[in-house]
Amino acid sequence: MPASPRRKSSPARTRVPKVGFVSLGCPKALVDSERILTQLRAEGYEVAPSYEAADVVVVNTCGFIDAAVDESLDAIGEALEHNGRVIVTGCLGARPERILARHPRVLKVTGPHAYEDVVGAVHEHLPPRHEPFLDLVPPQGVRLTPRHYAYLKIAEGCNNKCSFCIIPALRGRLASRRIDEVLREAERLAAAGVRELLVISQDTSAYGSDLRYAAAEWRGRPFATRFIDLARGLGELGVWVRLHYVYPYPHVDEVIPLMAERRVLPYLDVPFQHGSRTVLKRMRRPAHAENTLARIRAWRAQCPELTLRSTFIVGFPGETEQEFAELLAWLAEAQLDRVGCFKYSPVEGAAANTLAAHVPAEVQEERYARFMQQAAAISRQRLAARIGRRLRVLVDSIEDGVAVARSEGDAPQIDGVVRIPGVTAGGRARLRAGEFADVEIVAADDYDLTGRLTE
Ligand code: SF4
C-alpha cells in the first residue's frame, strides 16, 4: 500500500523509467551493481531487458587488466551504439580520461564503489517519477538511502481493487519476484554491509500468490515463494529485517513467532486505513471483514515487543460522524505505536470518486486534527513506557555530537528516532553511522526517544 492518496494522477506518470544495466568484472563489482539496482527498483525504476527498451544504460566496468579494460570500452561502445545514453561506473571509472578519449558521448563517468554517484547520475539524466501515492519508499526516499539499510522490493503491482487507488490500473497485477532471486539479492546486500533490509511491495502478505507459491532452492534447501518462507529466509541473514505493507490476513499470524525470536524485527507496518467496517467495505479494502482488533491482541500476546505502524484515511466519501467515532474508538483500543494519516482526496480514475457525499474540506480538517491528537497521545504514552529500558539501536548519522539512531520499532524516515547526545569526545565520535549500539532510554516526547550509551 502506498503512502498517501493525496495527489491526482496524470498520464505522464504512467510511464515507468527504465534503466538498462551491463555488469562486468569481479564479485565486488557485482555487489555494487546489485546495490544500484536495488535502490533504483525501490524508487520505481524498471530494469530494461535490452538496450532498445532502456531510457538510459549503466555500464559497470572493470579495469583490472588490459583485457578487462578493452572489454569494458567495447561494452560502453556497444551501449552507445544501441542506446546512445550511457552512464559509466566501476573500476575503469577511476580513469575517466581513458573512457572519454574513446567515448566522449557518455553522459557521466563515476568511480568504483560509488553507487551513490551512479544513482545520482541516473536521477540527473532520467529523473525518478516520484509520486507519494504510487511509490513505496517514503517521500524523502529518492534521497539516497545510507549504505547500511536498503529497500528490498519483492513484487510489483497489486491484485486488490481498493476504491481510492489506481495502482492496479497503472502498475498492473501482482508480479512477484521468485524467492531464490530475492533471497540471493538480500544475501549479497548483507554481505556488502547492509545492516537492515526493508521489505516492500504493494501487498507483502500476497507475495507469491501470482506464482502459485513457486518452489525454489536457496542455500541448498527448499523454499516456496511465499510470505512466511521469505521471512524465514531473510531471518537467516543476521541483519534487521523490517516488513512493510502487510495486510492482516490470518496467514500473517505465522510470522509473529519469528518476531518473538528476533529472526525478523518485531515490527509490522499494516495499512489499516480505517476502523469502521462500513467505510472499509466502501474502500474495498483487502481483509476488511477481519476482526483486526482481535488479531492485534493475539499478536501482542505472542510478541509483547511488537511495534505496529499504520496509515489511515479520514474524510473518505460518505464517512459519517458515527463512522469517524468508530475509527477513534478502534484506535483507542488498538493502541498503535506509529500512525500516519491523510485526508482523503480524489485520485483521477479511482472508483471512490463516484461515491456520493464527499466530506467537506473543513470537516476533513477537523477530523484529521482530532485523529492526530489521539494518535499522538497514544504514541507519547507508549514511548514514555520505554524510559529506563535498554534498547539496541542502529545509528543513522552523527549530527553535532548527537547520534541519530533508530530502535527496532522505528523505520527510517517515517517513524521516530533515538537521539544519543554526547557521543563525541575530544573531537572524535564514539559511534559511526551504520553501527549498532546499546542504550538506556532516558527521555521521551511525542514521537522520539533520547538515550545514553550503556557500556
Ligand atoms: S489496490 Fe489497495 S492494496 Fe493495492 S496498491 Fe492500491 S491501496 Fe494498496
pLDDT in tens, 78-100: 999 999 999 999 888 888 888 99
Task: Tell me the C-alpha distance between 161 and 288, whole Å.
Answer: 12
**Is 160's C-beta closer than 6 angstroms to any atom of ligand 1?**
yes
Rounded distance between C-alpha atoms, residue 217 and residue 225, angstroms: 10
Does the C-beta of 167 come closer than 6 Å to ligand 1?
Answer: yes
- Cα four-point dihedral sign 184, 187, 192, 197: positive
Q: Name the residue with the closest Cα to ligand 1, atom 2.
A: 162
Bridge partners for 404 per DSSP: 397, 419
Q: How far is the CA of 421 from the centre of ligand 1 (A)?
A: 41
pLDDT at 394 over 90: yes
Ligand 1 centroid, distance to 190 Cα (angstroms)? 30
Q: Tell me, in angstroms, the distance from the centre of ligand 1 to residue 284's CA.
A: 9
Q: How many CB atoms lie within 10 A of CB 304?
A: 9
Q: Provide the total of helices (H) and of strands (E) in the chain, helices listed first.
A: 12, 22
- What's the gap in Å between 398 CA and the centre of ligand 1? 37
pLDDT at 4 over 50: no
**pLDDT tens-digit map of 298-330:** 999 999 999 999 999 999 999 999 999 999 999
Beta-carbon contacts of 162 under 8 Å, excluding residues fewer than 6 positions away, are 1, 283, 284, 285, 286
Is 203 a pocket residue for ligand 1 (Cβ < 6 Å)? yes
Does the structure show a pLDDT above 90 at 388? yes
Q: What local confidence, expressed as pLDDT, does residue 34 receive?
A: 75
pLDDT band at 273 (very low <50, low <70, confident <90, very high): very high
Residue with CA closest to ligand 1 atom 8: 1
Ligand 1, pocket-test mutation among 203, 282, 310, most atoms within 8 A of CB:
203
- Supply 257's cell numbers: 513467532
- C-alpha span between 96 and 114 (Å, rounded): 14
Lowest mean pLDDT of 262-271, 307-316, 344-353, 405-414, name the range.
Answer: 344-353
| Cβ of 334 less than 6 Å from ligand 1 | no
Given the CA of residue 247, which atom of ligand 1 is nearest to it? 3
Quick: pLDDT tens for 180-202.
Answer: 999 998 998 888 789 999 998 88
DSSP string of 422-452, one letter each residue: --EETTEESS-TT-EEEEEEEEE-SS-EEEE
Tally Cβ neighbours within 10 Å of residue 97: 8
Which residue in the block uniquely carries the three cell numbers 574513446? 102
Confirm or reject: Cβ of 168 under 6 Å from ligand 1. Answer: yes
Residue among 368, 351, 348, 350 nearest 359 (CA): 368
Measuring from atom 6 of ligand 1, which residue has the nearest CA? 165
Give the pLDDT mean for 200-206: 91
CB count within 10 Å of CB 161 equals 12
Q: Tell me how far the alpha carbon of residue 380 is from its chain's centroid.
A: 25
Residue 138 pLDDT > 70, yes or no? no
Give yes or no for residue 201 CB within 6 A of ligand 1.
no
Q: Cα(167) to centroid of ligand 1, in Å?
A: 6
Higher pLDDT, 352 or 435: 435
Ligand 1 atom with the shortest distance to the CA of 285: 2
Q: What is the pTM of this model?
A: 0.76
Is the pLDDT at 64 greater than 70? The verdict is no
Closest ligand 1 atom to 168 CA: 1
